[in-house]
Amino acid sequence: MLPWLKPAVFLACLIPLGQLGYNAYTGNLTANPIEFITRFTGSWALILLLSSLAVTPLRKICGWNALIKYRRMLGLFAFFYAALHFLTYMVLDHFFDFQAIVKDILKRPYVTAGFTSLVLMIPLAITSTASMIRRLGKRWQQLHRLVYFAAAAAVLHFYWLVKADIRRPVQYGLVLAVLLGSRLVFSWAPAIARRFSSQRSAGRATANARASKLSRNSES
Ligand code: HEM
């Protein structure tokens, strides 16, 4: 694939951060800057998380195996924006008041879901290096299935926090459902194909046996 594409994707993932910095510099963070930053970083964390999940289905459908290189980058950027999102909440919104933060996590379902999503993303980020992939072997794939739970918790977090207009969280939920559905189809497809081919060969064997019996009868 094109050699400049990887740095281009890297830079593209930094555009939201640049936009946030530019808005802060020009004083365009709206009347409620903390809410703006929280929503902005939260949205990008979820968009990048879903983008990282879209890599495998796209790879299988289009046959672009080189896409795999971008999955890790997108996942790590999702974690980066999720960490910024949490830092905004912890530092700017709660001024390191850990007691209030813990109370919030325990009492407000949408914060519990957001926290769950963030916590699930931590082991994924830590084990995303090539040496960890080698060291964990088959267990790496099992561990990285957690990404679906992290995405589901993030969508639930968004759904629970909106008060009236549920369109955006529902749209994200639909995207996640399609990605999860495609994953199930791709994991079942080889088994279904195997079953069909064994049924077909069994059918062929019966037909051959019947044909040779018929020809034996006609000869006698
Ligand atoms: C401890 C972890 C988290 C906390 C405390 C937290 C907290 C918040 C808060 C306070 C808001 C804004 C609510 C408002 O509208 O006033 C928010 C919005 C949001 N968060 Fe989180 N969050 C957490 C984790 C996450 C994670 C891991 C993701 C995604 C992967 C995420 C995605 C979002 C999204 C998409 C929004 C809505 C943005 C919008 O309105 O456009 N959050 N979160």
With vertex at residue 197, the alpha carbon angle to CA 192 and CA 199, rounded to the nearest 5 degrees, is: 95
Give yes or no for residue 71 having a pLDDT over 60.
yes
For residue 212, the CA-to-ligand 1 centroid distance in Å is: 70
Q: Return the ligand 1 atom nearest residue 43 CA.
A: 35
Q: Is the CB of 111 under 6 A from ligand 1?
A: yes
Contact indicator for 179, 50 with CB cutoff of 8 Å: yes
Give which of 181, 48, 42 is closest to 113, Cα–Cα. 42
Shortest-distance Cα residue to atom 10 of ligand 1: 89
Instruction: Judge if the beta carbon of residue 114 lies within 6 A of ligand 1.
Output: yes
Looking at every residue in the chain, the average pLDDT score rounds to 91
- The residue whose CA has the least distance to atom 2 of ligand 1 is 115
Q: How confident is the model at residue 191 (pLDDT cuts 50, 70, 90)?
A: confident
Pocket test for ligand 1, best of 158, 167, 176 (most atoms within 8 A of CB): 158
Nearest to 143 by CA among 152, 132, 157: 132
- Structural tokens at position 40: 């902005």
How far apart CA 43 and CA 50 sit, in angstroms, is: 11
What's the whole-number mean pLDDT along residues 118-142?
96
113 near 172, Cβ under 8 Å? no
Confidence of residue 214 (pLDDT cuts 50, 70, 90): low
| Beta carbons of 155 and 166 less than 8 angstroms apart | no
Measure 62 CA to ligand 1 centroid, in angstroms.
Answer: 33
pTM: 0.88
pLDDT in tens, 39-53: 999 999 999 999 999
pLDDT of 116 higher than 70: yes
Residue whose CA lies nearest to ligand 1 atom number 29: 46
81 lines ligand 1 (CB under 6 A): no
For residue 114, how far is its CA from the centre of ligand 1 (angstroms)?
Answer: 6
CA of 148 to the centre of ligand 1 (A): 17
Residue with the two structure tokens 């530092």: 91
